[in-house]
Amino acid sequence: MAKGKVTFNQDICKGCGLCVSVCPTNILAMDEKAINRKGYHPATVVEPENCIGCANCAMMCPDLVITVERM
């Protein structure tokens, strides 16, 4: 199975959670411990080793916060 690497620009994430809802491997979550410069809890990767590189999260993100690299 393909592997991927997901990165977020957490400073501009508005915490909508759309990326979390479309991840088929459930590796994303809202970071309840962090608050970004806009005052939101940003999305984060909790299990990066399980990313399959599908890019569903990046396609769903309305603010282009997410970058997915396939390895």
| Per-residue tokens: 53 | 């590189």
| Model confidence, pTM | 0.91
pLDDT tens, position by position, 26-69: 999 999 999 999 999 999 999 999 999 999 999 999 999 999 99
Q: Which domain holds residue 30?
A: 4-70
Residues contacting residue 38 through CB under 8 Å, at least 6 positions apart: 11, 12, 13, 14
Local structure of 3: helix, strand or coil: coil
1 or 54, which is more confident? 54
Task: Say how many domains are in the chain.
Answer: 1
CATH number of domain containing 29: 3.30.70.20
